[in-house]
Structure 1
């Protein structure tokens, strides 16, 4: 028998579970030994369905599935038997609800069987294994597993957490279905709007009560709500399955209040409102999460400034969880919500983003991107750029300076969409080394408005003669069509300096560029570009020790010119230009 079997646990007596929580004294409850669990035992699931008042739902043990959660970690199979439990079903947000038999703690409600089942089948994570949480691996997320097929023919899977959002319009939630699915949530159950912030604190983080792991907090709030299973002093256990599967973790937790539990044959869920963050999530592992009530950790501070014609300028401050996988999507989500605060976003408006990402001990990384009318909408495009850069920093293959904060400035311009490149007219089609030529670029927008831009391209004196291609378009489009050398430099970088230099050189779609290029067989390796190499050099680099990662570059830049535009640029045109040699010059 485990040493935990004799330990006295802080818990609330079942007889008092229907009285207001703050009036309850802490009573000791024993663990129900896992070895004594058998089919036919009856108990109660303690959870909150409305407000802060716990209720007891009847549950019957059906059996024990050995090694189902993991090696040496069984799952107790059960089903709700009383009228209310069968009506509500196993709802998103019940994860972690303590299961009691004869006044002793069995474990945490943590798994459920499919949708539209004729009876609410549930899985229970044994408390004995949850108390050994630090010694278990982080494990893969349970919602990424295939599960097992029960007698009903449905898959047994982790109960989704009830995600609540404050400060985001309801119609903006569906745009981030990928984010909810990344957390194991179906769109139907995810991101139900929270009804405000309740006045709750650390004393409300008690067994049977809701607890939220915060993803975004500040002017915007996104949290994932489950239930506290066990608490002793300042330490608590909850959920009964992983949250993000991060292992040793760090992020704020908050007490919560349940506004209502929505019963559904498809997927029941709880709607929650949050209290003040009151502790730190310390472990996120196979059998649940552990947290310490007390100081609240810092996330990644982000501030967003939005200027839109005809609407007051707004400023929003929030923090997002420093999760390498989620920090980008979370920042994009909060950015979209902040832009929507300025006023109802127009489908055809154009947005211009200027951003700075401040690094510890380094100059900030700067970004500039525009988004015009189209699909995806402009706010989605600028959000994707922010997410991409943050993901590159938080998932870097080597140690890079810590991201200290992010400042984003969004300007809404005329609702005319992006500029499209129609044609490019150089004033000459042949030029000698050391000379310049002008190219006039015709642009058009969605409303048929025209604009002419002039770019001067200077040919280096050392340029070799031959036929070249003048490519005109947005710098981002040119890089995509002609080879994303900056991305190849980032992927092959061997040092933080090379990695950050490549990241800082990522191109903008608001820059109109004329780039004179010629075919060349080059290589990008170790964060550097070698634009023109003979075949023997290719062979030598490929055969060098260490297995260098190599990328081919197909073009060599000869000359170019660019200018920043007030909105994004689309389209690409090509014109043939000849650089004359000495013979042709004569």
Structure 2
């Protein structure tokens, strides 16, 4: 058996662009564990009062265009727009002078770059760019407000006629362009390990983020905790490993082990448990129709992002957030690989589960193809009372188009339900898959009963005949690619059923919904215990006479293929 081995940790991200041709992330597994390198030197810069700024004031700033070392830039204050970002939250408008800005405009990933007054005090963080396209005009979130938690994040900040005229006079931007206003520098979720086609064609699920951008694989970032300095790179991730879901921006300030950056939200989660990473920039890519974007590798996690608000994100160095380990082992034609992802935000665990399964399948199966698969999975965690729980199941799947794309939803749906129960934790999600090229399945073609030494097809006027107190012996007719096969069916008929009539139905597991309303771990255990495999059949006998009612259910199988379809025939008890 050939084993596909994972390479060393890495992640490259275009800090949130929708126009990148090659993808947003180039990433493999990041080392899980706090960095052993030294903490960064804190700047603890004091805030500059916005109401003391005036048009024409010179400013300086820091950002990274390559590697990890911040580079200086200069600029000039164009004005202050009162309540520009939100109630009691002004926007400082600055024109930035820097070669990369002249080439690419204020770029995605520059979010959080600190801007200083002449006396060294911190005015705020670059967070917005003009809406019309690439421009050197930046909207600054005041640093004095970067700990305020406001209610709503604006997608676009309008600019009045007077402000538009001021911007036009001071820059090469026309009044009409300036009047289009500012928009938050984009920060869509970048996902490594999952191809763009997979993100685009996944079924609509509440746990799969909209607007996520795909990425390829690359080498590990040469970045460490000491690189998280004012003007340096920082990344926040929901998960890291095979599937890294992250955004990259810039540090605004570091003080007493706490890191503040971005100047706008990552995912606007409020209190959160994202992991905090350093990063290394490869280059800044210009875009002719929108803001440029930063391409960067992110390094191993070095702390936790605990706050994600309108004015930016805040994290601390050292301890990493509680995590869920999500893994899938896939085997196909003698190749096997185990992929693992560390998930740190509970409401992302279901999406990470789905992405991990499909990413590992694409690596091992290496094609969109018909096929079948057996999968076993186990979820382990802690219930609301602190006790440990374990849910496990195994099933068979088949697809005549894309087996890799269809097997992850059932497990991810259950993880989603569990993570929505207050006080319940999901500590690990493991799955093992064995994939085959054979996509064939069965369909229930009919039901037969043996009479007088021969099997009689039931239906079309021919009903099943049963004897009270005895066993009803039938067989299901299953149609497959090679022809017909037969599965024995037996059902005990109670003695009290004499003279009753009803029906007997046979339904393939592949046609049945096995979910339910999961409101507790106990309810989840009951649902899993009652789940029917896709390669099993459910046989149901229902009899009635006046006020008497008899119902019996039996599960038959598993057989060697997924079973679809259903048949129902009348039955009479003598």
Which position in structure 1 is the counterpart of 2:259? 236
* 1:514/1:294 CA distance change after superposition, 3 Å: same
Q: Which runs of structure 2 are paired with 1:439-458 in the superposition (5 Å)? A: 439-445=474-480, 450-458=484-492
Structure 1: distance between partners of 2:501 and 2:337 = 52
Corresponding residue of 1:327: 349
Distance in structure 1 (CA, Å) of the matches to 2:94 and 2:560: 62
User: 1:576: how far off?
Assistant: 2.3
Residue 338 of structure 2 corresponds to residue 299 of structure 1: no
Please give the per-residue CA displacement for 1:420-470, whole angstroms capped at 9, x wherever unaligned: 33334355523244433344333345x555543333233344558655443
Describe the SS at the equivalent of 2:476.
strand
Question: Which residue number corresponds to residue 351 of structure 1?
Answer: 373
1:420/1:36 CA distance change after superposition, 3 Å: farther
Q: Which residue of 2 aligns with 1:364?
A: 390
For 2:127, which of 92, 98, 110 is the aligned residue? 110
Q: In the superposition, relative to structure 1, how do residues 399 and 501 fare at CA in structure 2: closer, same or farther (>3 Å)?
A: farther
TM-score (norm: length of structure 1)? 0.74
**Other-structure match for 1:393:** 418
Query: Cα 1:79–1:515, aligned 2, differ >3 Å: closer, same or farther?
Result: farther
Among 558, 571, 574, which residue is 1:578 paired with? 571
Structure scoring higher RCO (CA < 8 A, sep ≥ 6) equals: 2
Structure 1 residue aligned with 2:141, among 122, 125, 131? 125
Match of 2:403 in 1: 378
**SS at 1:225's partner residue?**
strand
Q: How big is the shift at 1:556?
A: 9.1
Flag the 1:163–1:49 CA change in 2: closer, same or farther, 3 A: farther
CA contact (8 A) 1:354 1:409 kept: yes
The alpha-carbon deviation at position 118 of structure 1 amounts to 6.2
Preserved contact between residue 370 and residue 568 of structure 1 (Cα < 8 Å): yes
Structure 2 residue runs of 5 or longer lacking an equivalent are 1-37, 160-175, 451-462
Give the structure 1 partner of residue 29 of structure 2: none
Deviations 1:108-143 (A, max 9, x none): 1223344x536455432111011x34xx25x45x4x
Change in 2 beyond 3 A, CA 1:505/1:395: farther
TM-score normalised by L of structure 2: 0.76
Alignment partner, residue 435 of structure 1: 470
Distance 2:572 2:54 in 1: 86
Question: Please, which of 24, 48, 62 is the counterpart of residue 32 of structure 1?
Answer: 48
- 2:554 is the alignment partner of 1:560: yes
- Of 227-236 and 425-434, more deviation after overlay is shown by 425-434
Q: Distance in 2 between matches of 1:336 and 1:294?
A: 32
Partner of 2:453: none
Distance 2:216 2:141 in 1: 29
- Indicate the larger mover: 502-511 or 256-265: 502-511
Partner Cα separation in structure 1 for residue 418 and residue 206 of structure 2: 22
In structure 1, distance between residues paired with 2:299 and 2:232: 12
Q: 1:247 to 1:28 in 2, by over 3 A?
A: closer
Change in Cα spacing, 1:274 to 1:561, as seen in structure 2 (3 Å) is same
Counterpart-to-counterpart distance in 2, 1:124 and 1:231 = 18
Residues 213, 118 of structure 1: alpha-carbon distance in 2 compared, 3 angstrom cutoff: closer
Name the residue aligned to 1:12. none
Alignment of 1:98-497 (within 5 A): 98-102=114-118, 103-114=120-131, 117=133, 119=135, 121-130=137-146, 132-133=147-148, 136=149, 139=151, 142=153, 147-150=156-159, 152=177, 154=180, 156-161=182-187, 167=193, 172=198, 174-175=200-201, 186=211, 190-193=213-216, 195-264=218-287, 265-266=289-290, 268-311=292-335, 313-324=336-347, 326-360=348-382, 361-374=387-400, 377-396=402-421, 398-400=422-424, 402-427=425-450, 429-445=464-480, 450-462=484-496, 467-475=501-509, 477-479=511-513, 487-488=516-517, 490=518, 496-497=521-522
More helix by share: 1
Contact 1:258 1:270 in 2 (8 A): yes
Alignment check: 8 A CA contact 1:458 1:559 kept: no
1:259/1:473 CA distance change after superposition, 3 Å: farther
1:462-541 equivalent positions in 2, closer than 5 A = 462=496, 467-475=501-509, 477-479=511-513, 487-488=516-517, 490=518, 496-498=521-523, 500-502=525-527, 504-517=529-542
2:68 is matched with 52
Q: CA 1:124/1:283 → structure 2, altered by over 3 Å: closer, same or farther?
A: same
Which consecutive residues of structure 1, in runs of 5 or more, have no partner in the other structure? 1-21, 521-532, 535-554
Give, in angstroms, the shift of residue 559 of structure 1: 2.8
8 Å contact 1:307–1:411 — kept in the other structure?
yes
Count of matched residue pairs: 500
Give the whole-Å Cα distance in 2 for the aligned partners of 1:37 and 1:302. Answer: 50
Distance 1:236 1:25, change over 3 A: closer
